[in-house]
Amino acid sequence: MPKYEAIVGRYVAVGDHRVFFEEAGEGIPLLCLHTAGADSRQWRHVLNDGDITRRFRVTAFDLPYHGRSTPAGQWWLSKYRLTTRAYLDIIRAVWKTLELERPVVMGCSMGGAITLKLAADYQDELRGIIGLEATAHAPGRYNDFLHHPAIHGGELCASYTYGLCAPQSPEEAKRENWWYYSQGGPGVYAGDVHYYSFDWDAREDVKRIDTRKCGVSLLTGEYDYSCTPAMIEAVAASIPGCRMTIIQGMGHFPMIENYAAFRPFLLRELDYLSSRA
């Protein structure tokens, strides 16, 4: 008999966009946001974890331009450039469209960062956030070689991000993330990093988060030089009542580069957030 995974993938219209999403489980909605230039495949371990899906309806979607989601309009006439406003709007539109009531939103890197702004602006609509590698300000990531006619963009972006993994993480898992990155559309990673470098700044916004309304869990890897432990500590200091953990031996992509080591930390935060009314 075929051995099927529990994950089900579908397309849904979100505004003008044809968005692909994957789901598994039932219970408290858990909406997962992938990293810059990647897609929802990074969350396959969470989607296949029975200890999570017995209590949570796990949903992971591909942003427009990413993975299996389709760009809208005459996208070929201009460079892709993500903005904070557009990012917030599409995430909220997804949870509204899928009727996810008071979800927990979990994201990593760019996806982790935007959870901070979501918690500041929409805390009455959320049960909580889990910010992985979630910094409130990250200038200096962009460079023109990320989308250059003389350079293989897929291999550059994949190798650029490969270096963000911890040396202890299994090589097979790090290469899996490399593979996902290598398949991004031309200029998509560059467009995400452009946003992250020039448009993203939530240092004042995070001060508005009320953890009595919206739980906040922050997890970052010891080896992450993109969102360093010092950066996450600065965010935590601005959010009274938040939870913060530095994961030893972990890099920038905990959910895909070393899920076995990341899992105990994730389960602990999910237990905390599920206990909230």
Q: Given a cut of 70, is residue 59 above it in pLDDT?
A: yes
**Number of Cβ within a 10 Å radius of residue 273:** 22
Convert the pLDDT of each residue in 141-192 to its tens digit.
778 877 878 787 788 888 889 999 999 999 999 999 999 999 999 999 999 9
Convert the pLDDT of each residue in 211-232 to its tens digit.
999 999 999 999 999 899 999 9
CATH code assigned to 8-274: 3.40.50.1820
Q: Are 49 and 263 in contact (CB under 8 A)?
A: yes
Residues 6+ positions from 102 with CB-CB distance below 8 Å: 29, 125, 126, 127
Q: 48-57, 58-67, 71-80, 110-119: lowest mean pLDDT where?
A: 71-80
Q: How far apart are CA 93 and CA 13, in angstroms?
A: 10
Task: Return the structure tokens found at 83.
Answer: 């903005």
Percent of the chain having pLDDT more than 90? 88
In the prediction, which pLDDT does 209 show? 98
pTM tops 0.85: yes
Q: Given a cut of 80, is residue 203 above it in pLDDT?
A: yes
Convert the pLDDT of each residue in 14-38 to its tens digit.
999 999 999 999 999 999 999 999 9
Band of pLDDT at residue 277, cut at 50, 70 and 90: low
